[in-house]
Amino acid sequence: MTTGMPALTERTRAHGWRWLLDVALAVAVGWVMSIAWVAVATPDRMGMGMGRGRMRPEVELTWSPIVQLAVATVAVAVVLGRVLPRTGWVLGLVGVAGYLAAGGSPVAAVVAAIVLGVRLLVLSSVPVTTPGSAESDRHPSHLAPARLWPWLVALVPAYLANGLGDGHPWVSVFTTATMLVWTTLPLVAAAAFLARRGQRVRERALELEGVARAERLRLARDIHDVVGHSLSLISLQSGVALRVLDTDPTQARRSLEAIRQTSKEALAEVRTTLGVFRESDEAPLAPTPGLVAIERLVQQVASSGVSVTLTELPDPAEVPAVVQSVAHRVVQESVTNALRHAPGSPITAVAVVVGRDLRVRVADSGAPSLPIREGNGLTGMRERVRAIGGTMTIDAGPTGFAVMATLPLEPPLGVVPTGADT
């Protein structure tokens, strides 16, 4: 009991102003039941044939305590259903049974039962966590039509109270069956509608989860490329600085300046990449390094004493931004791999437009160790290239290692023109 009360209190506070709508709905249901009871009790006076063949003397028109209690019970059940929908449903049916036993209108009883049933369907949602999502990322799962039947069975004893004291059992059974039909049909239709809507919500949640997973993968690739390349270059430059610190202070100073510039640019690019997590609208959605950045990358590596040559580069105005970004990442990761696995070997890079494709090739003369096992870098490059409809091949042999990518200048529809695929 003590464990359930905090949860109930929390649910009560969470609904806020909706309590006013619940009270208004409860008053409306009670008013309908009251007016209908008066109409049934005085069919000739009201000009309505809503009675069940049981005329009441004038003295019986005074409000019966049973009617008052039944109407109040249904009204309380409507409000209580906000936090305890199943309890509200059972309590409401008790009120409906008392109302019918006191000679209330079957039509008003059906209306009250439909209101209680719809609230049971809408409010008795079960939190469901989609596969792979966080525990807090939960979505409502309403009562499906197949799970609704056990609750609808409770209508039978409630509606059978309609014939108490009439002396016409067959009429009572027919009326009860009619009431069950008119109550069940709209509730089953509402259950089917809510089940379908819940399914769409879950499908949408899974779709958004897939998009979020792809975005996390994109960010991981960007961070891997930026940090991996920068640390490799910093390690190379620091090694040069240590080697010539005593013999060539000028070169050592240039290497330290290169380390400072590389780390500064790496921090800026990481900050831009992680800017997608900021709530500010001014934060860019993704970094967009392009062909110009390839030239700067080659210059940074060359300043450390490594022989790296950029033989050809097309006009950036002829290449879409998303293609430029992928080309830059291919060159960046390829140069980083060459620095790691073939230190000191000359590196050549070329990017040229051939027809409707941009062809990128980065090669070094270091003999790779066979067989080649693709790590995160090569796998990330291949995923980037494939995301824009391109192809990538690797040529590894005794004369060196080369990465070749063919990138279409017209990427498929749906590829966001930013610094990475999604």
> Residue 227 domain-assigned?
no
Poorest-pLDDT segment among 51-65, 103-117, 342-356, 359-373: 51-65
> Residue 414 domain-assigned?
yes
Q: Do 32 and 174 belong together in one domain?
A: yes
> Residue 94 domain-assigned?
yes
pTM: 0.53
> Residue 299 domain-assigned?
no
By the 8 A CB rule, do 254 and 304 touch?
no
Q: Do 321 and 199 belong together in one domain?
A: no
> Residue 219 domain-assigned?
no
pLDDT tens string 227-256 = 777 777 777 778 777 877 778 888 778 778
Residue 140 has pLDDT above 50, yes or no: no
Residue 114 has pLDDT above 90, yes or no: yes
- pLDDT classification of 116: cutoffs 50, 70, 90: very high
Mean pLDDT of 149-169: 75
Q: Do 311 and 176 belong together in one domain?
A: no
Q: Do 200 and 325 belong together in one domain?
A: no
Give the three-state DSSP class for 74.
helix
Q: How far apart are CA 107 and CA 179, in angstroms?
A: 8
By the 8 A CB rule, do 116 and 88 touch?
yes
Q: Do 31 and 178 belong together in one domain?
A: yes
Q: What's the start-to-end Cα distance of the chain, in Å?
A: 49
Q: Do 77 and 188 belong together in one domain?
A: yes
By the 8 A CB rule, do 252 and 245 touch?
yes
Last residue of a domain, one of 210, 226, 241: 210
> From the centroid of its chain, how far is CA 249?
57
Domain of 400, in residue numbers = 307-422
Give the pair of three-digit tokens for residue 13.
């506070």
Mean pLDDT of 357-375: 77
> Residue 295 domain-assigned?
no
| Identity of the highest mean pLDDT range in 151-165, 276-290, 303-317, 318-332 | 318-332
Output 63 or 393, whichever has higher pLDDT: 393
Q: How far is CA 259 from CA 22, 58, 238, 256, 398, in A?
A: 67, 102, 7, 5, 33
Give the three-state DSSP class for 81.
coil
Output 236 or 152, whichever has higher pLDDT: 152
> Residue 205 domain-assigned?
yes
- pLDDT classification of 39: cutoffs 50, 70, 90: confident
By the 8 A CB rule, do 358 and 407 touch?
yes
| Identity of the highest mean pLDDT range in 79-83, 266-270, 418-422 | 79-83
Share of the chain above pLDDT 70, in %: 74
Our count of domains for the chain comes to 2
Strand 347-354 versus strand 308-312 pairing type = parallel
> Residue 334 domain-assigned?
yes
Check residue 50 and give its pLDDT.
42
Last residue of a domain, one of 168, 185, 210: 210
Residue 129 has pLDDT above 50, yes or no: no
Last residue of a domain, one of 193, 210, 227: 210
Poorest-pLDDT segment among 12-21, 52-61, 168-177, 305-314: 52-61
What per-residue string of b and e applies to 298-335 under the rule 16 or more CB within 10 Å gives b? bebbebbbbebebeebbeeeebbbbbbbbbbbbbbbbb
CATH number at residue 317: 3.30.565.10
pLDDT tens string 46-66 = 444 444 444 444 434 456 788
Check residue 226 and give its pLDDT.
72
Burial-class residue 419 by CB neighbours within 10 Å (0-12, 13-18, 19+): buried
